[in-house]
Structure 1
């Protein structure tokens, strides 16, 4: 659908609406509107306009700039340069504008656990709402395909949901190519953790074991596994504890120390935090 009535949006721009079905609204990620816009210096979208109060707008907004520079104001102002993406919660105060010609792909989305994804992605990027997506994500191509699917009607709600999930996962945990040495270091670290699970495992010691600085090791470990080293160790200990609770008659205290916790109280708190139940409840539910 050509856009003709939006100030600062040039005539060759396109915009599409998508009303989610009942199943999509209840279970999927879904798009409510999307577009490929060309802008001039007159573009200035503010959240006090009529469009900003429509249901299709009051959700989450993903912007990818193909040319020029876009500006966004939320609780602070930032620029989105060519090749960068931005995430905005449009239920909160916001403004989008330009100072010169620009081009962007964008979409509004919601559904499933979109809000949790939004918060985690922003937190992962240190609170920044603008970032350069990893090349492996192919964000520009993904967005272009989604917009094409809305134009032609040839993509289902399931396919759009799957594409949105790929995008959100890629923004949360950007994958990058690792050198053979880095891949080997992560593999060595995992083996080291497995064989020393009952001991104290400070991240600096694991990093030293694989001859990397603590910061660099933490970055490549998370990029490779999806977990920080600390979280990986904690979850691995919880998994070992589950196995012992299921297959042995060891007391909770004995299991706590066997999987590397230094106190029963800390073990119970960690187990409950990660599983939603105490070790004793977990054991009893298996009977």
Structure 2
């Protein structure tokens, strides 16, 4: 339907959706969605709204106020808000925006993880792909052929995953981040002694700063990531070679068979021998 209101211009549309009980129980689901063309009169302030908001700026510039901070949302960036809390946003230039209000599934958990890493504004790695996940939802409403709820759920999940794995260098960045550089180094040198100090020194960062950056970008601490790479290497050796558990311990970068076995079981709920005997 056509959208009207202060600052909302011609061609703007928005749609409501009442989710089925099935979707509300098991899926991410849509409450409403829109495609707005705005001028600088466009302004929204709410004390509370029972949803989460994903707001993508295609052209122009917007600003938001949330949790005591002010954010600028430029083209190619997304604003993600928990609208149960007070929030406001506005267009500070003539802008074209796409937005969805959603709920369900692990909406709160994913919101909190994304917000803890990046704050309320995130730059997706691939803006074209990000936008392509939103457009079919809107075109389905426009053409009166709504996208099935499981497919909408999948699209919302993918949008949140895009934000969760957003690059710290922002859209269109050509170079690798320090974290990407060290991840590649760990994957190639997992057998070596990989202390936090040594890894941080590779990218000329302090251990504290590097550890914080690594956790923000990957969700792992550097130590957790090293263990993950070593466990994955051990899995491959267990399934593709006849090496003993002791030999695999050292080949995968562990320094103690007891530590390897306990770590492997903690991560996989199986002993190395039980994993080796499991049929996939």
Q: Tell whether the structures are fold-level matches, with TM greater than 0.5.
A: yes
Could you tell me the TM-score, scaled by structure 1's length? 0.67
2: CA distance, partners of 1:206 / 1:97: 42
**Selected match of 2:135 from 139, 144, 161:** 144
2: CA distance, partners of 1:113 / 1:170: 15
2: CA distance, partners of 1:184 / 1:8: 45
- 8 Å contact 2:51–2:83 — kept in the other structure? yes
- 8 Å contact 2:62–2:90 — kept in the other structure? yes
Structure 2 residue 66 is matched with structure 1 residue 74: yes
After alignment, is 6-15 or 107-116 more displaced?
6-15
SS of residue in 1 equivalent to 2:162:
helix
- 8 Å contact 1:14–1:36 — kept in the other structure? yes
2: CA distance, partners of 1:107 / 1:161: 12
Task: Give, in angstroms, the shift of residue 2 of structure 1.
Answer: 0.8
**Could you say if the C-alpha distance between residues 202 and 178 of structure 1 is closer, same or farther in structure 2, counting changes exceeding 3 Å?**
farther
2: CA distance, partners of 1:80 / 1:27: 34
Q: Which residue of 1 aligns with 2:240?
A: none
Q: Which residue of 1 aligns with 2:148?
A: 156
What is the CA deviation profile of residues 53-91 of structure 1, one whole-angstrom value per residue up to 9, with x for unaligned ones? xxxxx1210111123322222222424333121111001
Q: Which residue of 2 aligns with 1:45?
A: 45
- 8 Å contact 1:17–1:32 — kept in the other structure? yes
- 8 Å contact 1:15–1:36 — kept in the other structure? yes
SS of residue in 2 equivalent to 1:62:
strand
**Could you say if the C-alpha distance between residues 147 and 201 of structure 1 is closer, same or farther in structure 2, counting changes exceeding 3 Å?**
same
After alignment, is 96-105 or 155-164 more displaced?
96-105
**Selected match of 1:115 from 90, 108, 111:** 108
Task: Give, in angstroms, the shift of residue 167 of structure 1.
Answer: 1.3
Could you tell me the TM-score, scaled by structure 2's length? 0.69
SS of residue in 2 equivalent to 1:138:
helix
2: CA distance, partners of 1:272 / 1:92: 41
SS of residue in 1 equivalent to 2:189:
helix
1: CA distance, partners of 2:64 / 2:174: 33
What is the CA deviation profile of residues 240-271 of structure 1, one whole-angstrom value per residue up to 9, with x for unaligned ones? 8999xxxxxx9xxxxx99988899xx999978
**Could you say if the C-alpha distance between residues 190 and 129 of structure 1 is closer, same or farther in structure 2, counting changes exceeding 3 Å?**
same
Structure 2 residue 232 is matched with structure 1 residue 233: no
SS of residue in 1 equivalent to 2:96:
strand
SS of residue in 2 equivalent to 1:121:
helix
CA RMSD of aligned residues (A): 4.6
After alignment, is 83-92 or 23-32 more displaced?
23-32
Q: Which residue of 1 aligns with 2:55?
A: 63
2: CA distance, partners of 1:178 / 1:42: 34
Structure 1 gaps, min length 5: 53-57, 244-249, 251-255
SS of residue in 1 equivalent to 2:86:
coil
Structure 2 residue 17 is matched with structure 1 residue 8: no
Q: Which residue of 2 aligns with 1:131?
A: 122
SS of residue in 2 equivalent to 1:73:
strand
2: CA distance, partners of 1:163 / 1:262: 44
**Could you say if the C-alpha distance between residues 233 and 178 of structure 1 is closer, same or farther in structure 2, counting changes exceeding 3 Å?**
farther
Task: Give the aligned length.
Answer: 264
